[in-house]
């Protein structure tokens, strides 16, 4: 019994050391997002609270905590409260398998990439539950839109993942990173990288695909009825998901924690820093796109997902497979 | 809970919980690939569609409950089906013994390979025909579903992307010199 408690204590200690940095980095990333957004539009962005406005998000979070939580009278209370919790939990749970270096990972499981994919496909439940439980029209429309959008773009993300897996021959995230030691997959699979990036924009409901919360049409989509801490949890979950998508992109295509080149001044920088730099690079692209690109129309979004991305990634899958087969480069399975 | 809860939405939520726990069971047995695929396919896609349909139809709460002494036609049918399934389970579990020597001789030798590889090795070599047949059945179901719901309606306004993209200012916008106090007559 005591042994069991000791193990439990160690695990909790590990989990806390994973979750706290993620929450802090989410706060920082929100600041960065608003800052970049401001700079693109020739504004200053948040720059008052703390040095360069770094503590702006913390101040916002404090404000949210002290606000009153309002639950609509006609809402389904249990589901209404459950929805932000589901979003937030799923966003944090997925981080357990993301490797920051060869051995700096909470759970190095065999099917890591499938786990990530499964968790990100569960993310849609928080939104549907929130939209339905609010029992009002705008949230419901927003939830329906976002569910359709996320389910459609997951399909093309799945096929892109298969593309990478064909080159690696393993579902383990660390193996995927190590397989890119010679050449990052962003070079041979560049079209797939572009499609993955755009699909992950759609998957996380970021602009230009932020139709579920298009404020001109739907007020704030599924979040309309939420207030105070519950809204903040939706929002934290959303940004944690964006970070997760960036991490997934850097693992699949940008060589994860590997240095840029295996030469002297670059390979003394520790692996987690490379990983963080790559995530930041992808996030900067996310933030820039939010500022630059106008919103898509809904039917255009669906057409892009089903009629362009899906066939193209399928064709590229056939191409990758036949290329690997013809040049005998298929990964060897040790039987 | 799936069948006893009164509101349809709640029973869909419990169904999702069921799928998740089946996935967890698979992982605990050691079939982590199957468990994850179950999560992705059932929970990530199929159950979302269930939830969709139930929410869109806005099914009223069931008046009939199992525990209130009203007349219900579901119970006998349900009992028959569950008895049949129980018998089948008994037969399968009883038949398990005969296959034990077969299990130990051929399957366990392979267990050093991860079970994803193992699954692929069996699926794409020995059982390729059945695998492809299952795929064709799924394809047929998909085509059937589309055919059943597809109907061509006349008089529907549609956007043509090609036309929208290929518009250019020279033939879309016209600059007209308007004389004061006369206005413009457009012929359309």
Average pLDDT of B32-56?
80
Q: How many CB atoms lie within 10 A of CB A113?
A: 24
Q: What is the pLDDT tens value at each position of chain A, 335 positions in all? A: 778 888 888 888 888 888 888 888 888 888 888 888 888 888 887 877 778 778 888 888 888 888 888 777 777 788 888 888 888 888 888 888 888 877 777 777 778 888 888 888 888 888 888 888 877 778 888 888 888 888 888 888 889 988 888 888 778 888 888 888 878 888 888 888 899 999 888 888 887 887 767 666 677 777 777 777 888 888 888 888 888 889 888 888 888 777 777 676 777 777 788 888 888 888 998 888 888 888 887 788 888 888 888 899 899 999 888 888 888 777 766 54
A237 in the Ramachandran plot: left (φ > 0), alpha (ψ -120 to 50) or beta?
alpha
pLDDT at B144: 92
Fold annotation for B1-62 = 1.20.120
Enumerate residues 90 to 119 of chain A having a beta carbon within 8 A of any beta carbon in chain B. Answer: 109-111, 114-115, 117-118
Q: Nearest CB to A333: which of B13, B51, B117?
A: B117
Per-residue pLDDT tens for B102-140?
444 444 444 556 677 777 777 778 888 888 899 999 999
Whole-number pLDDT of residue B102: 47
Instruction: Give the pLDDT band (50/70/90) at residue B89.
Output: confident
B159 and A144 in contact by Cβ < 8 A? Answer: no
pLDDT in tens, A198-226: 988 888 888 788 776 766 667 777 777 77
- Identify the residue among A111, A124, A162, A304 best suited for mutation to test binding to B, counting B beta carbons within 10 A and taking the highest: A111
State both tokens at A267. 């390979």
Interface test with A, best of B21, B40, B110 (most A CBs within 10 A): B40
B128, two tokens: 């390729």
> Is B161's CB within 8 Å of A122's CB?
no
Of B127, B110, B114, nearest to B33 (Cα)? B114
Q: Can you give the pTM of this predicted structure?
A: 0.79
Nearest by CB to A147, which of B48, B114, B161?
B48
Least CB–CB distance from B40: residue in A121, A128, A140: A121
b/e per residue A297-321 (b: at least 16 CB within 10 A): eeeebbebbeeebbeebeebbeebe
**Which residues, 6 or more positions from A83, have their beta carbon under 8 angstroms from its beta carbon?**
A126, A127, A129, A130, A133, A234
Q: Give CA–CA dist A42/A209, Å, rounded.
A: 23
pLDDT of residue A215: 65
Chain B residues touching A76 at Cβ < 8 A: 9
Q: Which of A10, A234, A284, A217 is nearest to A130 (CA)?
A: A234
Q: Are A282 and A246 in contact (CB under 8 A)?
A: yes
Angle formed by the axes of helices A112-122 and A137-168, to 10°?
Answer: 170
Percent helix, strand, coil in chain B, to 5, is 70, 0, 30
- CA A159/CA A189 separation, integer angstroms: 13
Q: Pick the residue from chain B with its C-alpha nearest to A82.
A: B13
Residues of A within 8 A of B16 (CB-CB) are 125
Alpha-carbon distance of B32 to B87, in angstroms, equals 29
| CB-CB under 8 Å, A125 with B113 | no
Contact A300 B161 (CB under 8 A): yes
Using the predicted structure, report yes or no on whether residue B160 has a pLDDT greater than 90.
no
Cα A162 from Cα A159, distance rounded (Å):
5
Does any CB of chain B come closer than 8 Å to the CB of residue A140? yes
Chain B nearest-CA distance from A25, in A, is: 28
For residue A192, give how far its alpha carbon lies from the nearest alpha carbon of chain B (Å): 21
Report the run of H or E that residue B135 belongs to, with start and end. helix B128-149
- CB-CB neighbors (< 8 A) of A171 in chain B: 33, 116
Q: Looking at CA atoms only, how far is residue B145 from chain A in angstroms?
A: 17
pLDDT class for B186, splitting at 50, 70, 90?
A: low
Say whether A114 and B37 touch across the interface (CB within 8 A).
yes
Residue B141: per-residue pLDDT: 92
In this prediction, residue B109 carries a pLDDT of 47
Structural domain spans, chain B: 1-62, 110-149
Question: Is A275:A177 a contact under the CB 8 Å cutoff?
Answer: no
Residues of B in contact with A140 (CB under 8 A): 55
Q: Where are the alpha helices (DSSP H) in chain A?
A: 2-40, 56-66, 77-93, 112-122, 124-133, 137-168, 173-178, 190-203, 215-218, 228-252, 264-267, 271-292, 298-303, 310-326
Classify burial at A68, counting beta carbons within 10 Å of its beta carbon; exposed 0-12, middle 13-18, buried 19 or more.
exposed
Return the domain boundaries, chain A.
Answer: 69-326
Mutate: best of B11, B23, B36, B37, partner A, most A CBs <10 A: B36
**Looking at residue B108, what is its pLDDT?**
46
CA B64 → CA A175, A280, B53, B77, B124, distances in Å? 55, 56, 21, 16, 49
Q: CA–CA separation, A130 vs A133, rounded Å?
A: 5
Distance from CA of B92 to the nearest CA of A (A): 30
Listed residue (A224, A213, A215, A211) closest to A149, CA to CA: A211
DSSP A39-76: HHTT---S-SSSGGGTTHHHHHHHHHHHSPP---TTS-
Beta carbon pairs, A and B, within 8 Å: 66
> Cα torsion at A276, A281, A287, A293 (round to 10°)?
-150
Q: Is the pLDDT of residue B67 over 60?
A: no
d(CA A6, CA A11): 9
Task: Tally Cβ neighbours within 10 Å of residue A322.
Answer: 10
Contact check, Cβ <8 Å, A128/B48: yes
- B110 Cβ contact list (under 8 Å, min separation 6): B118, B121
CB of A280 within 8 Å of any CB in chain B? Answer: no
Residues of A in contact with B43 (CB under 8 A): 118, 121-122
A21/A83 Cα distance (integer angstroms): 24
Is A41 in CB contact (< 8 Å) with chain B?
no
Chain A (182-241) residues lying within 8 Å, Cβ to Cβ, of chain B: none
**Distance separating alpha carbons of residues B154 and B8, to the nearest angstrom:** 36
């Amino acid at each position: 019994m005591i042994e069991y408690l000791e193990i439990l204590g160690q695990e909790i200690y590990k989990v806390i050391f994973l979750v706290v940095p993620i929450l802090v980095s989410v706060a920082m990333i929100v600041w960065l997002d608003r800052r970049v957004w401001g700079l693109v539009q020739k504004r200053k962005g948040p720059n008052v609270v703390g040095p360069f406005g770094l503590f702006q998000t913390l101040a916002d979070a404090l404000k949210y905590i002290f606000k009153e939580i309002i639950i609509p009278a006609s809402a389904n209370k249990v589901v209404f409260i459950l929805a932000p919790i589901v979003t937030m939990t799923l966003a944090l749970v997925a981080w357990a398998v993301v490797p920051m270096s060869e051995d700096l990972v909470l759970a190095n499981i065999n099917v890591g990439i499938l786990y990530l994919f499964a968790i990100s496909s569960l993310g849609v439940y928080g939104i549907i539950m929130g939209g339905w439980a609010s029992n009002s029209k705008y949230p419901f429309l927003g939830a329906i839109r976002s569910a359709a959008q996320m389910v459609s773009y997951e399909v093309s993300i799945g096929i892109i993942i298969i593309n990478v897996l064909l080159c690696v021959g393993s579902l383990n995230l660390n193996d995927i990173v190590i397989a890119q030691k010679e050449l990052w997959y962003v070079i041979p699979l560049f079209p797939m990288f572009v499609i993955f990036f755009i699909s992950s924009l759609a998957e996380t409901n970021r602009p230009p695909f932020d139709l579920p919360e298009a404020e001109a049409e739907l007020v704030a989509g599924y979040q309309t009825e939420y207030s105070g801490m519950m809204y903040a949890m939706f929002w934290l979950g959303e940004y944690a998901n964006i970070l997760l998508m960036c991490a997934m992109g850097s693992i699949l295509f940008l060589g994860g924690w590997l240095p840029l080149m295996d030469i002297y001044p670059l390979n003394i920088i520790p692996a987690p820093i490379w990983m963080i730099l790559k995530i930041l690079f992808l996030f900067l692209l996310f933030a820039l796109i939010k500022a630059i690109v106008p919103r898509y129309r809904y039917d255009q979004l669906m057409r892009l997902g089903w009629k362009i991305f899906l066939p193209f990634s399928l064709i590229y899958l056939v191409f990758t497979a036949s290329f690997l087969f013809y040049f005998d480069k298929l990964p060897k399975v040790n039987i | 809970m799936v069948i006893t809860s009164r509101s349809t939405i709640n029973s869909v939520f419990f169904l999702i919980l069921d799928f998740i726990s089946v996935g967890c069971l698979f992982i605990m047995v050691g079939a982590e690939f199957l468990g994850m695929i179950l999560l992705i396919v059932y929970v990530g896609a199929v159950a979302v569609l269930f939830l969709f349909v139930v929410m869109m139809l806005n099914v009223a709460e069931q008046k009939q409950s199992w525990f209130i002494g009203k007349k219900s036609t579901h119970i006998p049918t349900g009992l028959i089906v569950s008895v049949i399934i129980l018998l089948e389970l008994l037969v399968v579990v009883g038949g398990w013994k005969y296959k034990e020597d077969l299990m130990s001789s051929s399957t366990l030798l392979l267990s050093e390979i991860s079970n994803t590889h193992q699954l692929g090795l069996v699926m794409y070599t020995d059982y390729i025909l059945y695998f492809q047949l299952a795929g064709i059945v799924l394809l047929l179901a998909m085509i059937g579903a589309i055919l059943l719901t597809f109907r061509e309606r006349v008089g529907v306004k549609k956007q043509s992307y090609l036309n929208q993209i290929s518009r250019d200012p020279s033939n879309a916008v016209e600059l007209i010199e308007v004389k004061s106090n006369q206005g413009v007559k457009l012929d359309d």
